[in-house]
């Protein structure tokens, strides 16, 4: 069963709260922010070729191309919540995240640079 869609107002509030926090945000706020940004990515880059994982909060499939159906997908991106928030809101570029080792990307299509940010907060 698919998870219910996070309403834009609630999701954007969680993202702004998590990004603006001077200390680690409450776990439920961070979880909603991560899931909302994953939801936006899946909506903006529809498809099932790449799986983006942000443990322990969520994962989504995105980007058009060959569909993955069983086992470990051939194109996987994994990162932590803080890095995902920065990438998805424009606070960090894809190249910077990969170069620093904050993002682990495997597979020929495991590149989100053309799809980020999904919600611009940083200028």
User: How does residue 26 score in pLDDT terms, banded at 50, 70 and 90?
Assistant: very high
DSSP state, residue 38: H
Query: For residue 2, is pLDDT > 80?
Result: no
C-alpha to C-alpha distance for 123 and 49, rounded to whole angstroms: 30
Six-digit token pair at 20? 């603006």
Cβ neighbours, 10 Å, residue 64: 12
Query: For residue 39, is pLDDT > 60?
Result: yes
* pLDDT attached to residue 99: 96
Six-digit token pair at 89? 């809101």
The predicted-structure confidence for 49-103, as pLDDT tens digits, reads as follows 999 999 999 999 999 987 766 777 789 999 999 999 999 999 999 999 999 999 9
Highest mean pLDDT among 19-23, 34-38, 68-72 belongs to 34-38
* pLDDT attached to residue 65: 84
| Mean of pLDDT values over 94-121 | 95
Model-wide pTM > 0.85: yes
Six-digit token pair at 100? 């620093």
User: 3-state class of 14 per DSSP?
Assistant: helix
Mean of the per-residue pLDDT values of the chain: 93
């Amino acid at each position: 069963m698919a998870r219910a869609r996070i309403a834009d107002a609630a999701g954007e509030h969680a993202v702004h709260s998590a990004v603006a926090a001077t200390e680690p945000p409450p776990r439920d706020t961070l979880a909603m922010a991560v899931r909302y940004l994953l939801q936006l990515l899946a909506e903006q880059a529809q498809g099932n070729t790449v799986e983006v994982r942000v443990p322990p909060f969520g994962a989504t499939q995105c980007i058009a191309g060959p569909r993955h159906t069983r086992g470990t997908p051939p194109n996987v991106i994994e990162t932590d919540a803080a890095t995902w928030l920065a990438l998805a809101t424009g606070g960090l570029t894809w190249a910077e995240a990969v170069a620093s080792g904050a993002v682990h990307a495997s597979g020929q299509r495991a590149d989100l640079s053309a799809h980020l940010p999904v919600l611009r907060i940083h200028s």
